[in-house]
A and B are shown apart, each in its own frame.
Chain A
Amino acid sequence: QTVVTQEPSLTVSPGGTVTLTCASSTGAVTGLNYPNWFQQKPGQPPRALIYSASNKHSWTPARFSGSLLGGKAALTLTGVRPEDEAEYYCLLYYGDAQLVFGGGTKLTVL
């Protein structure tokens, strides 16, 4: 069973920069996993932020960026705002038509 691993929690100061990562139990995350990133706030559905590792949706704030870093997918927030406090999930695609979410990272802005 494929497992996608994220940091359980991270804390960042307002105005700071933080990087969240997403690792796969099958090996290095590549562009063929088409990494997606989602933000979810309490009581709300997920909101898509990033697709195909580094592409932003039209509604994604500029301070969010995605990349592949050291065999993992990464989501970087630059100039963090209090409203960025949320749970962040990555989603990886596997060639056998399976999609697997990571366990989520709870980002605290403090």
Chain B
Amino acid sequence: EVQLVESGGGLVQPGGSLRLSCAASGFTISSYWMHWVRQAPGKGLVWVSHINSDGTLTDYADSVKGRFTISTDNAKRTIYLQMNSLSADDTAVYYCAGGPYTNYLPYWGQGTRVIVSS
């Protein structure tokens, strides 16, 4: 059974940093494109970033470019999202999602909540 479990969310002050993790089981992330998607309170889904199956290609939404970094540790079956220079606009539930192609997202985690507040 495919499972994605996010962790690392929490309360952080504006300007601070946080690293999210997504642990995968039931499939090999080295064969999948992996994504981060976020959802601010009461708002819609927003694609944040993706990384290709061998970790050589990454891309980001304009709103996070230069502040967020996606990475993967295939040995640990985990992907990460390093988030720097956080602001209140980054407050959201962050979901990890994945699939065999970048335009195909069948599998989703339960999400981890990030709150940016002083």
Contact = CB atoms under 8 A, between A and B. Distances in A.
Interface of A: 1, 34, 36, 38, 40, 45-48, 51-52, 57, 87, 89, 91, 93, 97-104
Contacts, number: 62
A108 B46 CA distance: 23
A101 B59 contact: no
B104 interface: yes
Given A101-B46, A102-B44, A93 B106 contact: no
A99 B59 CA distance: 10
Interface core residue of B47, B57, B61 (most chain A CB under 10 Å): B47
B45 A47 contact: no
A48 B50 contact: no
Contacts of B62: 1
Given A45-B111, A46-B95, A48-B108, A101 B103 contact: no
A92 to B, nearest CB: 9
Contact of B44 (A1, A48, A101): A101
Contacts of A97: 50, 57, 59, 102
B39 to A, nearest CB: 8
18 contacts: A34-B104, A46-B97, A46-B108, A47-B108, A48-B105, A48-B108, A51-B103, A51-B104, A89-B45, A91-B47, A97-B57, A98-B47, A99-B47, A99-B102, A101-B46, A102-B44, A103-B44, A104-B44
Interface residues of B, number: 24
B110 interface: yes
Contacts of B97: 46
A47 B45 CA distance: 12
Given A51-B103, A51-B104, 12 more contacts: A34-B103, A36-B105, A38-B45, A45-B108, A48-B106, A57-B106, A91-B47, A91-B105, A98-B47, A99-B50, A101-B45, A101-B47
